[in-house]
Chain A
Amino acid sequence: MPKVEILDAPKRLDASNVDAFKQRALGVLEEGKVIVVDFSDTTFIDSVGLGCLVSLLKRAASRDGAKVVLCSLTPQVTQIFEMTRLYRLFDVFDTKEDVEAAV
């Protein structure tokens, strides 16, 4: 049974707060856990935020047990993932409960 930790993404994930978010997430990955990034409050994400998620994904790939999945994407965030085709890279779930069931 993998260890799971849920991280709430901020309301706006952008250049101004991405560093703090990334540090928290990297800490969790170091412990070999699965990160579930919960986007239910997020209505804005910019390219720096996207870059951070890609970077987390790369880090997780290099570590046993670590993984990054996303859940509860708002329409605004979904739109940007579709536009950049990054949704292909991530496991995306509708709700936190769906993640728990799958894991």
Chain B
Amino acid sequence: MRPGESRQLRVAGASEEVRELALFCRECVDSLFSGMDASLIELAVVEAANNVVKHAYASEDDSFLDLIVRHRGDTLEFTLLDNGRPFDIESLRSPSFEWDRVEDVPENGWGVFLMRSIMDVVDYRRNDGTNVMKMVKKLPEEVVGPLLRETKSSRLIDFESEKCLRESETALDEMVEELSSAYEALNIFYSLSRDVALVSDVNTFLSNTLGKVLSGVGGATWGTIRFKDGDVLTLRASAGACPEEALVAEKAIDGDSPEAEASASLKRVFSDNYEGCPFQVMCLPIVGLDEFIGTVLVGKPPEEDLFSAGDAKLARAMADQIAVSVENSRLYSKALDAELAERELAIATALQKKLIQKELPEIRGLRFHMISTTAKQVGGDYATVLKMDDDSVYVFVSDAMGKGMSASNFALLSHMAVHSIVLQQHRRGISPGGILSLINEVMADDFDLFGMFMTALLVKIKPRKNHLSYASAGHCPPIMAAPDGTLEVLDTSDFMLGVERGIKYADFKKRMPPGARLLLYSDGLTDVMDKDTGEALGLDFLLAVCQDKLCAGNIDTACDAIFDAVIRETGKPIQDDISIVGVERVYD
């Protein structure tokens, strides 16, 4: 582990799961401690975990045990979290050593004694219904030594490592704050994207948006949105008790980049009134496709608390969201005017590409590859891979009916819904079927409004358990290759999202041992036409291709080869979006 790094694993609160935690702990400490010390640390973590399983849980089904290992300064910190019964702090006493006879030797209580002997700090507290057991171990001199010398010899590294330290210290607090503000933000985003699909008039949309920004950013009392219009920024919307300076209709642009312009306009507007507390007002550039669109200004009275870093992040994200929505709506109005020129299509496609995940998560035991192509028009495919901890990753693919703006807006909604729901529900141990049911509920109104349907497939993989579970809402059935190359089309059933409220989606389970591969895809891959007959090639053709290619090379080359083979067969440009997500359970 590197300084500032943090890793975590969740297992169920059962005695047979403790060994899993032990192995994970061992992976974290092996590079930092000698073999003997690493064994002792493993022992201390096992003792703490055994304690939880024995005392905190009788046999509850939804029990969990989280181990978080953090490299913090010159120490390694081990935090165990569980939702079981409170721990009896008195039992942290060590057994007596004053025994002369064999009969007096205690058979229990050695665990706590060992934890105390091995670790430098052992601390237990109860926090909001969660038991928090924290153990700290000082790193060996030979590991800390080089680190310290590096920080002395270079100011840059000094800054970096201090930053790491600060970051890890505030990471937990931030996580809590982020979760609640992320949820709020997602709700707002969600209604924003819905608005842009409904309101073709940009000004009305902007006023609505500004109202939502104000309600989302902590304590903000006023705001403006300006759009670039030639060489000036023109006021397009305002809300709340704006200071006079902020309401000037036109302002010259004089920054040479969006960020510079935002900062310049901040200075121009507020150099007199807000001197000394610049964070009482935030100015965010709205940047479309490499193009500066305008600015969002949000403020509150100087006597209020300063805007927090979380507020800034939220405002930044909202400005980005406005950019996407505005570009979309500009394109939309042009489409209505039948002026859908090539360039605009390219913009829409590129905007949708912004949604394509650029970095797939790294997780031990798994390798991912994603291919996402949009057809000539923007479409409704969406795919994402979400890592929750070192043994939980979700893969989601969805396909909204049709092409064009409404499909692409539903891809955006799908993005919002799956991220917010998985983030919110993962800790509660909800199944993929439960998550799909929730997405169906959350988006029900929008499906009705647009008469839209969407297929979706959600897979949750636990690589350490060689296990996956999945649920499907009418999506193309995933193809699985066993380590020996045998292909299987996995069971799927159930209605598309948007067909009916209150549907409970069923869960399926499957083993995924090392060597196994999984292919998720959208119907673009099976609907491509045969170049001679003009008929859809279908699943049988895809299976024949997979027979040859799914197990060849690594998953990246395998997916690319499958994609190429299918495209070659059609002999012309693709008509529909095609998304492919390949997952390989690599050998540990």
Interface residues of A (CB under 8 A from B): 12, 14-16, 43-44, 46-48, 50-52, 54-55, 57-58, 61, 75-76, 79-80, 83-86, 89
Chain A neighbourhood of B50, CB < 8 A: 15, 46-48
Whether, in the assembled complex, B347 has its beta carbon less than 8 Å from a beta carbon of chain A, the answer is no
Interface size, chain B (Cβ < 8 Å) = 28
| Neighbour of A46 across the interface among B43, B53, B102, B107, CB < 8 A | B43
15 more A-B contacts (CB under 8 A) besides A15-B53, A47-B114, A52-B107?
A15-B15, A15-B50, A43-B39, A44-B39, A46-B43, A47-B109, A47-B110, A48-B111, A55-B107, A76-B36, A76-B39, A80-B114, A83-B114, A83-B117, A86-B105
Known: A47-B114, A79-B36. A54 touches B107 (CB 8 A): yes
Whether, in the assembled complex, B46 has its beta carbon less than 8 Å from a beta carbon of chain A, the answer is yes
A84 near B113: Cβ-Cβ < 8 Å: yes
Known: A14-B46, A46-B50. A51 touches B39 (CB 8 A): no
Chain B neighbourhood of A44, CB < 8 A: 22, 39, 42-43
Chain B neighbourhood of A84, CB < 8 A: 110, 113-114
A75 near B36: Cβ-Cβ < 8 Å: yes
B18 near A16: Cβ-Cβ < 8 Å: yes
Known: A12-B19, A57-B102. A51 touches B108 (CB 8 A): yes
State the Cβ distance, A66 to closest chain B Cβ, in Å: 13
State the Cβ distance, B387 to closest chain A Cβ, in Å: 28
Known: A44-B42, A79-B40. A54 touches B105 (CB 8 A): yes
State the Cβ distance, B97 to closest chain A Cβ, in Å: 6
What is the bound-complex CA distance between A102 and B111, given in angstroms? 33
Known: A16-B15, A85-B97. A61 touches B39 (CB 8 A): no
What is the bound-complex CA distance between A43 and B110, given in angstroms? 18
Interface residues of B (CB under 8 A from A): 15-16, 18-19, 22, 36, 39-40, 42-43, 46-47, 50, 53, 97, 102-103, 105-111, 113-114, 117-118
Known: A43-B39, A44-B39, A46-B50. A89 touches B110 (CB 8 A): no
**18 pairs, CB–CB < 8 Å, chain A vs chain B:** A14-B19, A15-B53, A46-B46, A46-B111, A47-B47, A47-B114, A54-B107, A55-B107, A57-B102, A58-B102, A76-B36, A76-B39, A80-B40, A80-B43, A80-B114, A83-B118, A85-B97, A89-B105
State the Cβ distance, A53 to closest chain B Cβ, in Å: 9
State the Cβ distance, B439 to closest chain A Cβ, in Å: 39
Chain B neighbourhood of A54, CB < 8 A: 105-107
Chain B neighbourhood of A76, CB < 8 A: 36, 39
What is the bound-complex CA distance between A46 and B46, given in angstroms? 8
State the Cβ distance, B521 to closest chain A Cβ, in Å: 41
State the Cβ distance, B66 to closest chain A Cβ, in Å: 19
Chain A neighbourhood of B43, CB < 8 A: 44, 46, 80
B110 near A50: Cβ-Cβ < 8 Å: yes
Known: A44-B43, A57-B102. A51 touches B107 (CB 8 A): yes
What is the bound-complex CA distance between A88 and B248, given in angstroms? 87
State the Cβ distance, B551 to closest chain A Cβ, in Å: 34
Closest to B107 in A: A51
Chain A neighbourhood of B110, CB < 8 A: 47, 50-51, 84
What is the bound-complex CA distance between A16 and B229, given in angstroms? 71
State the Cβ distance, B544 to closest chain A Cβ, in Å: 46
Can you list the 7 inter-chain pairs with the closest CB atoms, starting with the nearest? A47-B110, A47-B111, A51-B107, A76-B39, A54-B107, A55-B107, A54-B105
Chain A neighbourhood of B40, CB < 8 A: 79-80
| Neighbour of B47 across the interface among A46, A52, A58, CB < 8 A | A46
